[in-house]
Structures are given as structure tokens and as C-alpha cells.
Structure 1
Amino acid sequence: MTLTVNRNPKRTSTLADERPFPLPLPWSWRRISLRRLEVDDLAAFQAYRRDPEVARYQGWKIVDDDAARAFLAEMRTAPMFLRDKWFQLGIALRETQELIGDVGVCVDGERSSAEIGFTVNPRFQGQGLASEAIQEITSRTMQFGAVDKVVARPDARNERSIRLLERIGFEPEGEATFQDEDGEQREIIYARIRPRQKKPARRR
């Protein structure tokens, strides 16, 4: 599935022009960490990426070990939050740093939106770990990408992702269609908007 992020045009970007800037990683929450992918993650990465049921609702294709290894090596140092540049982070258990999934982000050229896609190993689904990871990446994208709106586009058949999004505060906005090997399919567009801070009351 994918997520898209729109920003308030009046907000000043956290990025200095379009130059890559270092961010402290990992980002940890209660039970998960978002960290850089490593070549040493190959076995864990391929364990879920080669699962046909996992790949069914995703935009990527299953690849061999050589291609996966090259991808992991590239993502190890990929710039973050640049225009039209995808980067991917690993979703790991906080205590052990074991890779259980991954999440990707791409900010569009006008900084009006960004896409996020995520995948979680079925062994670790149904435990709330994916919810924690998506909450965290949404927050970090708003913070470092200077965006105010996150839009998710799950395949309409992907009931688990739809339930996850609704559980963490995303609301439906519309639908779109796309083509896959089974023909025309629907995706449901969900949105989550950054809460606006109330202006302090004027003193009289």
C-alpha cells in the first residue's frame, strides 16, 4: 500500500534547500525502531518479500538475492526527504533490532505530497507493531518533510491495511483505480491531517 503527504504551502521546510542532511537514526517507539536497512538484513528481508501473499497488494515485484542485496546496499546511505527521491527504512524490533518489515517515503517535486509504502512480515502482523511503525513514520514525515497531510492508498482488497489506517486515525476521502495482472482494481484514499495548534488567546 502507499501513503501520500500534502503540506501547508506557508510552512517552512525543515530541509536546507535540497541538500541531504543527517538525521539521527534509529527512531524508536515503544516496541519498534525505524532504522537504516543493511546488507546483513538480506535473509530477513527476503523472507517476507518473497511471500506471494505479502507481495499481492504491493507495487513492487519479487526479486532475487542479488537484486535485493543491491537494493539494501543503496538504501543504507540513501538521502532522506529529497524531492522525487525514494528512500526506504527498516522496521525492526526495538529490543533486538531484528528486521520485521520496511517502509518507503518519496516527497514529490513540488513538495505538495509524498508517498509512503510499507510491508510487514506476516509473523509479526496482528500485534500492533505495524500501527506503531506507521504512526512513527507519519510523525517523522510531517516533522522533517514539513507536511501536514498524510494520504494512504490501500488496495480495496487489503482489508488488514484498511483497518490499520482507520485504527490510527485515517479517514476515507475517495477512490481511484489502477491496473494489475488481474485487471482493473480499486484503491481507497485515506487521509490523516496534522492537528492545528490553537492560537493563544489575546490578553485584554
Structure 2
Amino acid sequence: MTAPAEAGWPVLTDRLSLRRVMADDADAFLAWRSQPDVVRYMYQPPWTPQLAREKLAAWAVAPFAEPGDALVLAIEERGRPGVLGELLLKWAPGPGQAEVGYALHPEVQGRGYALEAARAAVALAFGRFGFHRVFARIDEENTASVRVCERLGMRLEARLVENDQRDGVWATEVVYAMLAREHGILAP
């Protein structure tokens, strides 16, 4: 696996531009991260303005060179200003493992942006970074994200019954994954 060079950003898809986050993105991220309906499947409370500033300042300069590191990208519509959502690629423990995650502002959900951004993240993970396996961990009730993984061609690998709590209630998590060779890119 290789760490990303600063060159090569943004990553462009048909409709989207994916770039490294900047500290100045804090207000944009707060717009969806402060909404309980958005963060409920992230197993965390809504953000405050202070937390948004702290997180984005840290993510903007965070390395992506070893297990535990996370690369957070801002999702923008090509040719239009404004951040629509976020994309996460986390270097997971274990050889050649990466986790993908995403969140969008509710106003743009349902337009296929999550699928398009996640497809780009999987291609980055296997192509640019050389990961062997990419997975997504999803609350079973988050059916929209389950559909994204299925449309990506990921397979259901696990169903972890009541393995975590969401809002004080036990929740079940599903794990979807794909190998580089299944994506058509052979990892080194």
C-alpha cells in the first residue's frame, strides 16, 4: 500500500469532485453532522460547532500512512460550490484492509451521490492505495447504505446481532466487503 501524494486531488466522477477536507469545511460538515437523523447510524451524538471545527482541523492535516489513519474527503458537485457530504476511507487493522463510509446532507440524499462517491472510494482503495479488501460496517436498519453496498457488488459477510448500542437500544450491524480481484483490480 502507498500513502497518497497530495497530487492527484480532486478525484472526479461523472457528477462529483472528491477532495481532501479543509479546516474551512467545518460549517458545511456541521450542516449534516448536527442532525440527529443523519448521525443516528454513526453511533455518535450530533456535532456542535466547536466539535466540527476541531474534527475538520484535525482531518485536514491527518496522515494516511498506516493502520488507524483515516482519509476524509469532501464530496462536491462538479462545477458547483458547496460541500454535499463526506467520504471516509479508513486504514483498518489487518493486512491490506480498508473501511469505507459516507454521509450526505439530507437535501441531496436519494440522488445517487452516495453510490457514485462510494464507487470512487473503492476504486481509490484498490487502485491508488493497493488495499486487498474493502469493507463497510452498517447498522442493519440503514437500508439506504445497505443498498449502496449491494449495488457496488459487495457481498454480505457478517451480521452481528445486537453488537452495539444506538440511542441506548441494542442494534445489529452488517458487514459488506469486496476483494481487489472481485473489483477487477489486483492488489500488489
Give the TM-score category using the shorter length: 0.7 to 0.9
Which residue is equivalent to 2:42? 58
Secondary structure at the aligned position of 2:135 is classed as strand
Which residue is equivalent to 1:87? 71
Q: Which has the higher contact order (CA 8 A, sep 6+)?
A: 1
Q: State the superposition RMSD in angstroms.
A: 2.1
Which residue is equivalent to 1:7? none
Deviation at 1:65, TM superposition (A): 1.1
Aligned length: 182
AA in 2 matched with 1:191: A
CA contact (8 A) 1:81 1:145 kept: no
TM-score (norm 2): 0.86
AA in 2 matched with 1:104: L
Q: Which deviates more, 46-55 or 113-122?
A: 113-122
Which of 170, 176, 182 in structure 2 is aligned with 1:184?
Answer: 170
Q: Which runs of 5+ in 1 are unaligned?
A: 1-12, 199-204
1:60/1:26 Cα in 2 relative to 1: closer, same or farther (>3 Å)?
farther
AA in 2 matched with 1:26: P
CA contact (8 A) 1:82 1:106 kept: no
Q: 2:2 and 2:178 mapped to 1: Cα distance?
A: 20
Which residue is equivalent to 1:34? 18
1:154/1:110 Cα in 2 relative to 1: closer, same or farther (>3 Å)?
closer
Q: 2:8 and 2:61 mapped to 1: Cα distance?
A: 13
Which residue is equivalent to 2:2? 14
1:14/1:152 Cα in 2 relative to 1: closer, same or farther (>3 Å)?
same
Deviation at 1:110, TM superposition (A): 3.9
Q: Which runs of 5+ in 2 are unaligned?
A: none
1:14/1:42 Cα in 2 relative to 1: closer, same or farther (>3 Å)?
closer
Matches within 5 A, 1:144-163: 144-163=128-147
Q: 1:25 and 1:60 mapped to 2: Cα distance?
A: 29
Secondary structure at the aligned position of 1:175 is classed as strand
Pair member with larger Rg: 1
Give the % identical residues: 29
CA contact (8 A) 1:92 1:100 kept: yes
CA contact (8 A) 1:81 1:105 kept: no
CA contact (8 A) 1:173 1:190 kept: yes
